[in-house]
Structure formats: structure tokens, C-alpha cells
Amino acid sequence: MLSLESPRWAELRHAYGPAADVPGMLKSLVSGDARQALDDLHGVVAHQGSATTSAYAAVPHVVAAAEALSVSDSLEHLHFVGVVASAVAPPQIPDDLRAAYHAALERGLALAVEGLDSRDTYEDAVAALQTVAALSGKPRAARRLVSLLNEAAELFCPSCNTHLEMDLAARPATLARHNISFGGASSLVVPWTVNAGLSRNADLAWMDEFVVRLGGHQGRLEAELAMLGGTGPCPNCGARIDIYEAWQA
């Protein structure tokens, strides 16, 4: 693990330049305002869900901080680690940081799995599963789970490329053209049916195994994942759309 006193930090980058200020954030995480420190790390080191080279050096420190907390208090720390691990187009991991980074991901995954059944709210339970997905090397599953917490999701019909929006709050969930779904053109909102099975792709089969560990939140998440694993008709051309594959997340 890279010492917080090392001059190496200044050679690493965050979203706004050299990462010489990251050790200060990591010190605050342990002995200062942890909430603010996590906000800073998200905003600077993993800016808008992207990873930077300093993120790889920060992750072992964040996992160590999480290990010192109770399982129920470690969710936000582990969430940061998951964001780094599931970043889109991440930079290459510097050779000198790789071993400690990967070892920290393994320890973070063990913590995240341990905490799956101790989340108070549905949102926290989904966030915990998202972290487990990210740390298990399933970044696409992690991003899909984030989308579940939004009431709407965007996708494109693979046949006619029409921009569609899904209303996840509706039962059954509905597909509509993106631009007019806000205007109340309800005749174009068509319900899409949900496949009963969740084993059509490896990501969903993987999630199915972990959902049973979510205790009281299991039922709701199973229903949400059924939508995620469903197919629906395109409101424009009628083609059957595989929601999981077409989802823009």
C-alpha cells in the first residue's frame, strides 16, 4: 500500500491534475470528516464514475478504513471502491500499484458480501449488490443495478434505433418513445412483458445467486431484476427488445 507520505502521489493523476492532495483526503477519511472525504474522493479521484491512476493507490487505503468500521457503516467506503472497479475505459494500472490494488479489491469484495444482508433500505441493498458486482469483475451488471434505482431508463431499439424510455415505476413497466413520453402521449406507451427466467445471460444468473442473501429486500429486487431480464415490444417498429442488452448504462 502506497505510504501517504510518498512523493509518488504527486506523479499520479486525479481528474484535475497531480494527485498530491489525495493523501490529505485519505487522512480525513480516517481521522476527520469521513463524509466530506468520500465526497472529495468521488469528485476528484473517481470523478463522475471514471477512474484515475490515483484511484488505484487510494483504494487500498479506503478498504483499510472500511475494515476498521462495522459492516453497516462500511457501505459508502465500499461503494467508492466499486465505482473505481467498474469505471468505463479506466487508465492502465501502474505496475507498482497493481498488487496492493488487487489485494484490496479481494478484501473489499469479502466485506461487501458479508454486508449484503444487513442493509436497512432497499436502496442500500441494491447499492451493496452493485458493489459486489463491481468487485466481482462484472462492471456491466454493476451499472445496470445503479439504473434500477432510477425511475426511468433510456435505451435504443436495436432494430430501428428509436430512442426509448422505460418507466420502471409503472407495473408492468412501460416502454415509450423518449421525446414524447414526457408529453403524456399515453397511446404510445405500451406495456412490455417480462420473462419469468433470469438465466438468459451470465450477469443475471450471477445476480440471482446473490439476491437470496438480501434478506427482507429479496422480493422487491427479484421483481426488479425480472424487468431487467425481460423483453418488450418497440413502440415504433414492434421488434422484441432484450432490455438488458439494449439498456444504456
Q: Which is nearer to Zn ion, 74 or 162 (CB)?
A: 162
Q: Are 160 and 236 in contact (CB under 8 A)?
A: yes
In this chain, which of 6, 36, 150, 159 binds Zn ion, going by CB under 5 A?
A: 159
237 touches Zn ion by CB under 5 A: yes
Q: Which is nearer to Zn ion, 72 or 161 (CB)?
A: 161
234 touches Zn ion by CB under 5 A: yes
Considering only the stretches 20-28, 202-210, 222-230, 237-245, report the one whose residues sit in contact with Zn ion under the rule CB under 5 A: 237-245
Q: Pairing state of beta strands 13-14 and 17-18?
A: antiparallel
110 touches Zn ion by CB under 5 A: no
Q: How far is the CB of 164 from Zn ion (least distance, A)?
A: 8
For residues 58 and 236, what is the distance between their CA atoms, to the nearest angstrom?
A: 47
Q: Which is nearer to Zn ion, 218 or 236 (CB)?
A: 236
In this chain, which of 88, 110, 149, 160 binds Zn ion, going by CB under 5 A?
A: 160
For residues 52 and 13, what is the distance between their CA atoms, to the nearest angstrom?
A: 6
Distances in Å between the Cα of 70 and the Cα atoms of 3, 59, 64, 214, 223 are 24, 18, 12, 18, 30
195 touches Zn ion by CB under 5 A: no
Q: Which is nearer to Zn ion, 125 or 155 (CB)?
A: 155
Residues 72-101 that bind Zn ion (CB under 5 A): none
6 touches Zn ion by CB under 5 A: no
Considering only the stretches 117-125, 186-194, 210-218, 231-239, report the one whose residues sit in contact with Zn ion under the rule CB under 5 A: 231-239
Containing 59, the helix (H) or strand (E) segment is: helix 53-67
Burial class for 171, CB neighbours closer than 10 Å (0-12, 13-18, 19+): exposed
Cell representation of residue 56: 488505484
Distances in Å between the Cα of 216 and the Cα atoms of 4, 55, 226 are 41, 34, 17
Residues that bind Zn ion in the complex, under the rule CB under 5 A? 157, 159-160, 162, 234, 236-237, 239
